[in-house]
Amino acid sequence: MRHFLLGLTVCLYCTTLLRAEAWQPFGVRQLGFTFDIPPGFVLTQHSDQGAAFLGPREASLVVWGGRLGKASFRAEIEHRMIEDK
């Protein structure tokens, strides 16, 4: 059974590599970051802080960024968590 599962895993992995499509890089210049968009996703919303993409079967990918103030990252997150309560 173990050999069968190993063989199946190898077969599926090789098949996945054959069907692999290139991911497209997308960047937000103002914030200095880039991320990769999976194949099949299209840009639906764009701003200076990020973007939203819609993919197959209504999947969504949303990436937004912002500059931290003078506080540390931990302090910023704790502050936002308190605001959300």
What is the pLDDT at residue 39?
92
pLDDT at 81 over 80: yes
State which amino acid sits at residue 55: G
| Side-chain-facing half-sphere of 79: CA atoms under 13 Å | 9
Tell me the β-bridge partners of 42: 54
What is the pLDDT at residue 10?
65
Is pTM beyond 0.75? Reply is: no
- What ranges do the domains of the chain cover? 23-84
Q: How many Cβ atoms from other residues are within 10 Å of residue 53's Cβ?
A: 20
What is the pLDDT at residue 83?
86
pLDDT single digits (tens) 3-55: 666 665 665 666 555 555 789 988 877 778 888 999 999 999 988 888 899 99
